[in-house]
Amino acid sequence: MTINFVCVGNLKEKFSRDAQSEYLKRMSAFCKVNVIELKEQNQLENPNLIVEKEGDEILKNLKGKTILCEINAKQFSSVEFASFLKTTMQTSSTLTFVVGGSFGVSEKVKAACDEKISFSNMTFPHNLFRIMLLEQVYRAFTILEGKSYHK
Amino acid sequence: MTINFVCVGNLKEKFSRDAQSEYLKRMSAFCKVNVIELKEQNQLENPNLIVEKEGDEILKNLKGKTILCEINAKQFSSVEFASFLKTTMQTSSTLTFVVGGSFGVSEKVKAACDEKISFSNMTFPHNLFRIMLLEQVYRAFTILEGKSYHK
């Protein structure tokens, strides 16, 4: 099983990189995991152009079953998310999560992704959102394996 | 304006403490802020006893308008949360957010709190949840002040 995280933007703060390292290490007990960081196109001034250019790079990196993280999508509980991951992993040995940039993702990316999920009605910064996603995927594995994992 | 965060459990990982420091520093531009960490009562074996004992300590620390973070409560968008905070701050110069322990909070705490909010249908570990809460309160201030704050 391989899980890819395709993310626009890098982690600027050390605490975010440290948190990512920790959750990637824990997750590596369950699957092969890759983080693919794409460059934010903030040098462009037009948000539509930014989203299009970032989208073109995202599209090049979509592999296996693809899951777009989007604020306006169905929300799962952690147990439902684990069950959703289990079902999705039965159809493909590779999953790719997509986390867009500050201006969201292009319509092409939305159309190309197989599934869409929302974590919250709230908007989080991409660094913190990435950690929330890694933690929930790690949590999903612990739920599926019946391991205790202290909150 | 004073905002208190009453949280059961401490931040074990350095990356969580570093993230907390960063958001507290940013928030201090807008208000006086206190984090009150209460001891987890995990030496007790009975979850009901844990929740009662932790609850007694929480009750001692409730000041001003009190807002309980609970998974089964109303969810806000970040903009709605900012507006909710603004309204609440007009009624009291002190706000206290409550983040319970692994087993949740006692009925007494639920009854004592003025408001309840949920951030997600998902369950997050308390360290990560605390950062999410601090970030959203900081974000709320930037929304209310009309400051740009890059995601």
Q: What percent of chain B has pLDDT over 90?
A: 93
CA distance A116 to A78: 15
| Predicted pLDDT at B151 | 52
Closest chain B residue to A126, measured at CA: B151
Task: Report the residue from B18, B102, B151 with minimal CB separation from A151.
Answer: B102
Q: pLDDT tens, A116-144?
A: 999 999 999 999 999 999 999 999 999 99
Residues of chain A with pLDDT under 50: none
Interface of B with A in 59-88 (CB under 8 A): 75-78, 80-81
| Predicted pLDDT at A2 | 98
pLDDT at residue B147 tops 90: no
The ipTM of this complex is 0.94
Which helix (H) or strand (E) element contains residue A69? strand A65-69
- Strand pairing category for B94-99 and B65-69: parallel
CA distance A11 to A104: 17
Does the CA dihedral B135-B94-B55-B116 come out positive or negative?
negative
Q: pLDDT tens, B62-72?
A: 999 999 999 99
Task: Report the residue from B22, B128, B139 with minimal CB separation from A131.
Answer: B128
Which helix (H) or strand (E) element contains residue B13? none
Is the minimum CB–CB distance between A18 and chain B shorter than 8 Å?
yes
Closest chain A residue to B71, measured at CA: A77
Closest chain A residue to B15, measured at CA: A15
Supply φ then ψ for residue B66, to 5 degrees.
Answer: -115, 135
Answer whether A123 sits within 8 Å of B14, measured CB to CB.
no
Catalogue all structural domains in chain B, each as residue range(s) with its CATH number. Answer: 2-144 (3.40.1280.10)
Answer whether A125 sits within 8 Å of B78, measured CB to CB.
no
Q: pLDDT tens, B8-45?
A: 999 999 999 999 999 999 999 999 999 999 999 988 88
Closest chain B residue to A40, measured at CA: B151
A vs B: CB pairs below 8 A: 89
Choosing among A40, A117, A122, which should be mutated to test the B contact, i.e. which has the most B CBs within 10 A? A122
Answer whether A120 sits within 8 Å of B125, measured CB to CB.
no
| Predicted pLDDT at A89 | 94
